[in-house]
Chains A and B, each alone.
Chain A
Amino acid sequence: QQQVKQSPQSLIVQKGGISIINCAYENTAFDYFPWYQQFPGKGPALLIAIRPDVSEKKEGRFTISFNKSAKQFSLHIMDSQPGDSATYFCAASRGRGAQKLVFGQGTRLTINP
């Protein structure tokens, strides 16, 4: 049972373009939705996160859009740069204490110069 579904699996965007990655979740008890960025040979690192009480969060070129009724959220990378080329994971968790992060399948993003 895949509780968080992510698409696309891979994405190629030209430098300066907008990269969009989408996720859908099933469990309405989830109350925390982070995006992680992973470079080859490294561990995932938190990029940006949102709670379901807001519809959008922006940090620099990265924006999360959240649609609670549709149980969907997406990552937008504006003015995409070659240095953004990495694998991106959406995730979700709920409750207090230790956070059992449920990850999406990942999106390999390539930004062409």
Chain B
Amino acid sequence: DTAVSQTPKYLVTQMGNDKSIKCEQNLGHDTMYWYKQDSKKFLKIMFSYNNKELIINETVPNRFSPKSPDKAHLNLHINSLELGDSAVYFCASSREGTGLTKNIQYFGAGTRLSVL
């Protein structure tokens, strides 16, 4: 069983389109995240949800809107896609707790988005 699963794995689309990426975790974690990895492999956090509540919202264009229907799912919707949105998007999750284990973020395999 995949702990953090993202769909689709690849997404190729035209500029101006709207697309969604879905993420599900079966680890029972309370917190989920979206990261963007650019062409130089730099990883940057975009959003974080804890129990369906948005708690981290980095400087991301309004065209990006996360939605968490329940604490096991965090989807990312992108409106009016631009060339610069091409990247790999990773979903991750972590659990509340104490010590080093509470900080462990488990990542999905990523969604490679290509905007043409």
Asked whether any CB of chain A lies closer than 8 Å to the CB of B96, the reply is yes
Given A42-B109, A106-B42, list of 12 further CB < 8 A pairs? A41-B109, A41-B110, A43-B4, A43-B92, A44-B90, A45-B106, A46-B106, A87-B41, A89-B43, A105-B40, A105-B41, A105-B42
A87 to B41, CA, bound (A): 9
From 85 to 111 in chain B, residues with beta carbon under 8 angstroms from any chain A beta carbon are: 90, 92, 94, 96, 100, 103-110
A41 to B110, CA, bound (A): 8
A25 to chain B, nearest CB (A): 15
- Are A51 and B41 within 8 A (Cβ)? no
Please report B residues at the A interface, Cβ cutoff 8 Å: 4, 31, 33, 40-45, 48, 50, 55-56, 90, 92, 94, 96, 100, 103-110
- Are B41 and A43 within 8 A (Cβ)? no
Asked whether any CB of chain B lies closer than 8 Å to the CB of A98, the reply is yes
CB-CB nearest in chain B for A107: B41
A45 to chain B, nearest CB (A): 7
CB-CB nearest in chain A for B43: A103
- Are B100 and A32 within 8 A (Cβ)? yes
- Are B100 and A51 within 8 A (Cβ)? yes
CB-CB nearest in chain B for A34: B103
Which 3 pairs show the lowest CB-CB distances between chains A and B?
A: A43-B107, A103-B43, A98-B48
- Are B108 and A46 within 8 A (Cβ)? no
- Are B41 and A106 within 8 A (Cβ)? yes
